[in-house]
Structure 1
Amino acid sequence: MQTIQSLQRYLFELSNTYDATICIKDFTGFMRQDKAIFQALSPFENHTSAYCNYVKSNKKCYRECLDMIPKILRKCTETRSTFSGFCHAGSFEYVIPIMDGENILGAITFGGYASNSPPKNKNHHALAERHPELDESLLEQLYLKEPALPDEQHISVVLRSLEFIASYLGSLGNGYCATENTAKLLTQPKQKQEDVLVEHALTYIKMHVTEKICIEDIARYCNYSSSYVSRNFNKVVGMNINTYINKLKVEVSKTYLITSNKTIADIAEIVGFEDLSYYSRVFSSFLGIPPAEFRRRFT
């Protein structure tokens, strides 16, 4: 448990340091074998930049995003090593396969970077042509705000770290047989309705994690009733929405505790806790120690 929490913290630090989006794609369900692993890595399930969120706000574009998943799996199966490329919307990222022996269990994606020269068929202009209901000027504005690719020397160091992490995650598969699930993914890329709903809910939560979030706002974003969202979120994620929100806020606050000199009161406010005492109680309920003790141990 301590190892997976340290891994989560390191992934947050990598994301912050290199202004990158890190996603862990689970092709086979291997992460769901262990509830602690699934909950620790769930903050890395989706792309949540402003550009990606606007693209996914269009249902047809979102379908194209989902269709990238089996393509990534095929490429992982072919290369069995790190590769890079552009998504359908022009974001550049690296992909590191997660393998258990011969089986491809998943992949780590690292990036979400803008490029001055994306492929002609994979950029915001082409996207706007395919989907004229999108605002091309807003697409361009959001794309240009995406971070620029770091220099090659820094990237090579990051990729080595991510390849080590992928190897570790692959070992957690513990011989998990991926054949049946992989075949289903290759031939049937569609997600269940509740999975898509929860992905939308997670996206909203991550977009607003430092704000006060209520179930009604999430339900409006997902276009479902509050009770339906709550029931399916609990079913898929394994915890209720308020618990997940507080857990994610605590995880974000841990990065601030380790990497900044901000006061604990300031950090509590930054991540959306209006009351310092309540933040300390929530923090302790998840980690067993208060924020001050956590900072003392890990800095």
Structure 2
Amino acid sequence: MKITLTDIHQIVNPAKFQKIQEDISQATELALITVDYKGVPLTTHSNCSEFCKKVRSSKYGGYCEKCDSHGGLEAARIRKPFIYLCHAGLVDFAIPIIVDDLYLGAFMAGQVLLAPEDAEHEPEHILHRIDSTIDISCDANLQESYSQLPVMRLTKIIALANMILHIGNYCVEVAILNKTVTEITSKDKKTKSDKAPDYSYDSAYNNTKTIINRPAKESNKLLEPAYAYIKKHPEEKIYLSKIAALCNISPSYFSKLFAKENTGNLSDYVNHIKVERAKELLHNTDWSIRTIAESLGYDDCGYFIKVFKRDTQKTPLEYRNDFTTTSISKINIMNQI
């Protein structure tokens, strides 16, 4: 059963989310608004700065809308938070809301100044090809509002962007889960109405088992990017947060889905893939065990040997020696024929 969400309202209830948005803005000092894929606001702007209100009502207001539009589309393109400088030099960022590669909307946040210590790491200007510079020095009113803008370190801005990304992913997960339950319940009710009710123990057990297993089948597709990446990059150290981000879900939700799909945890799966790659290297190279361990991202050779033996019941050296002995035996047999 394919669960499809095509409307931002299925994920974000504007009336209910408005209060959450306002609390986030109050706690973080960020201005925040939620928009659909066209850039049309779903919520009212929370904590919008006086400076931005004045700029938006001036001749430069059109550039503000362009910044929002470009920022949201760029975030959708890279499928992660996009941090940039608006035409007035303020730091803003967009958090995409994506379901099955469909861009439904975004959380737009920012209206802060970058701390001077991070000047060399300044984000790119979103409208760098447009001459839209605001000369604040000629407007005392703007100068006063500009001086009241919050100043933040880049590390904090990145952390806040990731926090809002996790909130967005959680909203998507809940929406998918709710629709899954609704459709399963609806289908089960229809099935029951088409036949005489069966109140036996076996029937109740089988119905429960079916409901539990259906969402797990859906999770296969969600986890495909993780499986593909791990198999393609056995040399990397794999972190839960990065792999979950590849699947556009939160680390906690990834762990739950992965546990349903596998007998072990993510670490066990990654180690198994690395051991399979180690076998190839033991067969086809004369690299030392330490070199092979390091090439697979293991800092501790002893731990690599332990992982390898747990997976194969042999140490890497024993495995190589057995393979070499077998190969020599086969050559000798061929020479005798």
Q: Quick check: TM above 0.5?
A: no
With a CA cutoff of 8 Å and minimum separation of 6, indicate the structure with the bigger relative contact order: 1
Whose Rg is larger? 2
Q: What TM-score, normalized by structure 2, do the two folds share?
A: 0.38
Q: What TM-score, normalized by structure 1, do the two folds share?
A: 0.43
